[in-house]
Amino acid sequence: MFSGLIAETIRLALTEDLGHGDITSSLIVQEDRDARTIIRAKEDLVLAGMPFVREVFSIIDSCVEVNAFLAEGADVSKGGEIAEVKGNARGLLAGERTALNILQRVSGIATLTRAYQRLVSDLPVKIVDTRKTTPGMRFMEKYGVRIGGGSNHRYGLYDGILIKDNHIRIARGVKEAVGMAKKGHHLLKIEVEVSSFDELREALDAGADVVMLDNMSVEDMAQAVKITKGRALLEASGNVNITNVRTIAETGVDLISVGALTHSAKAADISMKII
């Protein structure tokens, strides 16, 4: 499923960039000219996304060779060589921007995730992502989170039950919403979003497997851990950033979801130059 989606996404990206062809290269670069390029880090980063770079050039020209010098997840210092790409020069130039756009985006996500993960690595908590992703790039962006040391939350609406505030309003209560959900897929865990201790207790009594603490203060999160007493996993969500993630983790929650991993990660600075 995802391999086909990735190829389709990359084809769309190439169509967006190439249109009916690379006018400049067709005028300047001989049709049979070969070249070799080096992909290089222009800042410290965590490498993620080379499989997608290979897919870009495979779609353009199956004869182009992509040889990575480093493994996915490697810490790369500024100036470090990441890979070489060699083959028909027109093909290299045609795929350069799409390949770099993806590599920079996914590596940026991995780099930010690694920064969060390092701050809580000695604590029994997972850093997880959200569905706040770039349309069409969710698999690639969530891949970057995993490479950076984080974990994936549900991929979409289809693979996890997450009862949020609007569901609760429509169902007219936490207990009612959980009861309806329990009549569904027996293999899926049920997660409920709560914003008060009363809703937390109601979710626990109804048999929720995971409870999301929505925008609670650190003090309230700590109290929620005491109330829960291990009856369900607790996920901290909302207003999480690099400066407070450690404090949140120390409350004893099991999961910390960070939308910023995918919606606010800065693209890593990476270049591809013909040598």
Active-site choice (11, 132, 189, 246): 132
Active site residue 164: yes
In the chain, beta strands by DSSP E: 34-41, 45-46, 65-68, 75-76, 81-88, 126-128, 161-163, 190-194, 210-214, 233-237, 255-257, 270-274
Active-site choice (164, 182, 201, 231): 164
Active-site choice (34, 61, 214, 250): 214
Angle (CA) 152-159-262 rounded to 5° is: 35
**Amino acid of residue 198:** D
Active-site choice (11, 40, 97, 182): 97
Active site residue 97: yes
Active site residue 132: yes
Active-site choice (55, 193, 202, 254): 193
C-alpha to C-alpha distance for 168 and 199, rounded to whole angstroms: 10
Catalytic residues: 97, 132, 164, 193, 214
